Structure 1
Amino acid sequence: MTDAFLALADGRVFEARCRAPGRARGELVFTTAYTGYEESLTDPSYEEQVLTFSYPLVGNYGVRSERFESDRVHPNAAVAREFTDDVADWLADADVPAIDHLDTRAIVTSVREEGAMACGIAAGPAATPADARAELDAAEPMSAHTEIGAQVSTPEPYTVSGEAGGADADVALVDCGAKGSIAESLAERGADVHVLPHDATAADVRARDADVLFVSNGPGDPATYDAAEALVDEFLDELPIAGICLGQQIVARAVGGETEKMSFGHRGVNQPVRDLETDRVVMTTQNHGYSVADPGPLEVTQVNVNDGTAEGLDHDEWNVLTRQYHPEANPGPHDSLGFFDDVLATVADSRRTVAAD
């Protein structure tokens, strides 16, 4: 049955089957992950995008809320070769349009060749190609979503308490769209994680007596996160600073570096990253459409094997440690979970330095 349409910025319109009705528009991106559809669909980094799954069957192990990375579905719509009823029903309940029975290989190839592009979707009994094109015409580039941080950030601060017997540290986590597993990974190591809104102030951080400033992942253009960038600038050389994904980009910009939009980004669970000191390669989970083009005074310590983009930035004197990929995985390989231990180790190092002074 053809009761859905996907219109692409390259002029093509794909016929499809409606699995969850509605209309949507946004930047069309794809993930190569073959598991973790629950985590991907609830990842705030997909806000204002239309997520296409390159793996042909999505939903073969059901839907369980304990795997969610946030409290809602974030992509504006979802596309697959085939969705199971479990996933289709979940997306319909969430009022997120979903379509399948179309050539996702052709869609992924288009994005790889032409870059992430705008799209429009119309799904339901009365949907027409013209409806999909109308959504496409109304789509905006990611850089135009200047308030995207407010859409995904916590409205009020809260604390995730650390497990007993671990690190004695207070982490100020700036929530620019943080996956839940980031706070969980730090709390599992004993840290008390104070999750703050994306526009938190220096006073908010100091009120938590923070030992480290940690900037999270999130959606959109890093240039739109002025408040988080200002926090990094405020606490540089005062507190250890860490960041993941968007957080790495914000940290780099705060110290004078530059970021740029990638052609189609890195989204999947099989991105190879090489450590420049050890020459060791690990497989990583990634979800980003921007990268650090110029790290400024920061040292590039890890690079993507496929395209050479910066995957890790360090600065020993300032106690800065960032990663472009997601060390907490969820879903994906656990090769880089030690990053959280390294971040908490900077707290101990910082305390020893203060004591020596």
Structure 2
Amino acid sequence: MAKRQLVLEDGTVFVGEGFGSERATKGEVVFNTGMTGYQEVISDPSYCGQIVTMTYPLIGNYGVNRDDFETVTPFINGFVVKEVSDAPSNFRNEENLDHYLKAHDIPGIFGIDTRKLTKIIRKHGTMKAIISDLEAPAGELAEQVSKLILPTDQVKRTSTVKPYVVPGRGMRIVMVDFGAKHGILRELTKRNCNITVVPHDYSAESILRLKPDGILLTNGPGDPKDVPEAIAMIQQILGKIPVFGICLGHQLLALACGADTEKMKFGHRGANHPVKDLRKCKTYLTSQNHSYAVREGSLENTGLELTQIALNDNTVEGLQHKSYPAFSVQYHPEASPGPEDTNYLFDDFLNMIKKNQVKQEEEAYA
């Protein structure tokens, strides 16, 4: 395998071996702390445009299989690991990681000190980087990548283009796709929901025309403020239809209610983040992947109640509207990868819908 280098915008250089696609790639370099789940991480649309570093030292040892993808087409720009296995061993394995990355034109680099890289990101914050061969001078690459303008169209790139239906006999759910993971669909289909998946820019009028019982705002990549049409749509449906927001959907619900969001120093990415439910006084381990968070100080006069916080840094992890049937979480209750401690939230969503239907019937007969 050819030598390759990872150059950060501050000039730091890591030299390692290349795998996957041979092309050069640029993007925001982030790290994921999960010990397993690299296939789900690579195929998670929320990583769109990013170079992902896995902190666990050995990646690829159980291969790649047909069942654990979170989207058909991966959107990551690059993959960084300490050691990559080219001879995976698992009864579900169908190909190794190198072959998979080559097939999807994703460059990778291994054999670098990922612990050092992670410590740099934790100290100085997320930064831009480039993976390249050794022919290009590192100084020129650092200067080049420092001028890189990060994209703002990630949601458009990862969202479905046209509506489609996943049939079921239960609740009618409209799922607004901001770059959704398949895990969300799996949890809804498990509960026999009839799901209509719509694009990120679908209007409130078009959604209401579908006569949904509930609306699910999915995860997705990037800055929630780059999706103003979604914020406007949520403002128009809030109070009319029950709403459940996940990750980016959580941030969009907060913005629609008048709260604010901010970019985090290095974000939350991993399958082991502790979150405390303030109402139950109970802690859950959660799967997370986000660069932005809702500012707790901005919740005043929004009608939103803080329900959950991250125990590592006290950031906002859960919100409930005080007047309308609407709630959201910053983490991924569908997991994939990670613990499934919080997938009960999908049941809470359906129960909220039932309570809202009973309330509407009572008001109609009053």
For Structure 1 versus Structure 2, the TM-score category normalised by the shorter chain is over 0.9
- Structure 2 counterpart of 1:288, one-letter code: H
User: What's the offset of the Cα at 1:211?
Assistant: 1.2
SS state at 1:186 partner: helix
User: What's the offset of the Cα at 1:317?
Assistant: 2.2
* Alignment partners' CA distance in 2, 1:172 and 1:181: 16
Q: Are the counterparts in 2 of residues 3 and 127 from structure 1 also a CA contact under 8 Å?
A: no
* CA shift digits 1:267-323 (9 cap, x unpaired): 000000001112111100000000000333210101001111111100242011101
Structure 1 residues 132 and 88: CA distance shift in structure 2, 3 A: farther
* CA shift digits 1:304-345 (9 cap, x unpaired): 011111111002420111010000100111110100000111
* CA shift digits 1:96-125 (9 cap, x unpaired): 1111011100000001111110111114x8
User: What's the offset of the Cα at 1:126?
Assistant: 5.2
Structure 1 residues 135 and 5: CA distance shift in structure 2, 3 A: farther
TM-score of the superposition, structure 2-length normalised?
0.92
Counterpart selection for 2:97 from 70, 79, 87: 87
Answering whether residue 17 of structure 2 is matched by residue 7 of structure 1, we say: no
Structure 1 residues 158 and 320: CA distance shift in structure 2, 3 A: same
Q: Are the counterparts in 1 of residues 156 and 200 from structure 2 also a CA contact under 8 Å?
A: yes
**2:19 alignment counterpart:** 19
**2:69 alignment counterpart:** 68
SS state at 2:162 partner: coil
Q: Tell which deviates more after alignment, 246-255 or 125-134.
A: 125-134
User: What's the offset of the Cα at 1:199?
Assistant: 0.5
**1:115 alignment counterpart:** 125
* Alignment partners' CA distance in 1, 2:178 and 2:135: 37
**1:103 alignment counterpart:** 113
SS state at 2:67 partner: helix
- Structure 2 counterpart of 1:139, one-letter code: L
* CA shift digits 1:166-208 (9 cap, x unpaired): xx31111110001011011011112111110011112321232
SS state at 1:263 partner: strand
- Structure 2 counterpart of 1:155, one-letter code: V
RMSD after superposition: 1.6
- Structure 2 counterpart of 1:52, one-letter code: T
Structure 1 residues 134 and 113: CA distance shift in structure 2, 3 A: closer
Q: Are the counterparts in 1 of residues 303 and 323 from structure 2 also a CA contact under 8 Å?
A: no
Counterpart selection for 2:336 from 330, 333, 338: 330
User: What's the offset of the Cα at 1:92?
Assistant: 1.2
Alignment of 1:50-199 (within 5 A): 50-85=51-86, 86-123=96-133, 129=138, 132-133=141-142, 136-141=145-150, 145-162=151-168, 168-199=170-201
* CA shift digits 1:231-254 (9 cap, x unpaired): 110111111111000110000000
* Alignment partners' CA distance in 2, 1:135 and 1:24: 12
Answering whether residue 242 of structure 2 is matched by residue 216 of structure 1, we say: no
Q: Are the counterparts in 2 of residues 241 and 319 from structure 1 also a CA contact under 8 Å?
A: yes
- Structure 1 counterpart of 2:11, one-letter code: G
* Alignment partners' CA distance in 2, 1:5 and 1:129: 8
**Gaps (5+ residues) in structure 2?**
87-95
Answering whether residue 348 of structure 2 is matched by residue 339 of structure 1, we say: no
- Structure 2 counterpart of 1:170, one-letter code: R
